Amino acid sequence: MVTEIAGDEHEPMFATRRALLEPLSMAIVGALESIGGPSRPPPLTAGSPVPAGVLRVEEVPCTRCGIQVALLVFAEGATDRGQFEDVARLMYPRFAATTVPTHLIGSALGPSPETYRAAIMQVWPQRAPVETLTPAQFWRRIHALIRGHFP
Ligand SMILES: [Zn+2]
């Protein structure tokens, strides 16, 4: 029996998934051994990379020098922490290769453009709680990152 844990071993939620899965895996192996005799299960390993599907990713450049200052991942359909964690797990190799702040942006919520908000979660280099922001509130943050790059 092989138990694989989804995601990259260096991703922050990997240890949590391992802590949840390991006792279950041991219990299942124990139950199988009680029927079929002892075995030597291989240790739990990180799952093989799975294609993440297609998510729109946007690199935000500094408007003066062109260096990337932020990464935006459009997490279509994500509205809660669990869905954002799924996207963060799938996209980890992409944003962990950068040093810039990375935000996951969920679908627009609200009946009309005047009231649009979106659930947004910063996942890199630090994780932050999911927030619900208007486009103007979010772009103020991104513009602050761009301004922060000016000499
Ligand atoms: Zn710059």
Q: How far is the CA of 79 from the centre of ligand 1 (A)?
A: 32
Q: What are phi and psi for residue 125, nearest 5 degrees?
A: -75, -15
How confident is the model over 84-141, as pLDDT tens digits? 999 999 899 999 999 999 999 998 887 777 788 999 999 999 999 999 999 999 999 9
Q: Which residue has the higher pLDDT, 48 or 94?
A: 94
Length of the chain: 151
Whether residue 44 is predicted with pLDDT greater than 90 in this model: the reply is no
How confident is the model over 8-20, as pLDDT tens digits? 888 888 899 999 9
pTM over 0.85: no
Q: How far is the CA of 41 from the centre of ligand 1 (A)?
A: 53
Q: How far is the CA of 142 from the centre of ligand 1 (A)?
A: 13
Q: How far is the CA of 108 from the centre of ligand 1 (A)?
A: 30
* CA–CA dist 22, 28 (Å, integer): 10
Q: Coil, helix or strand for 108? A: strand
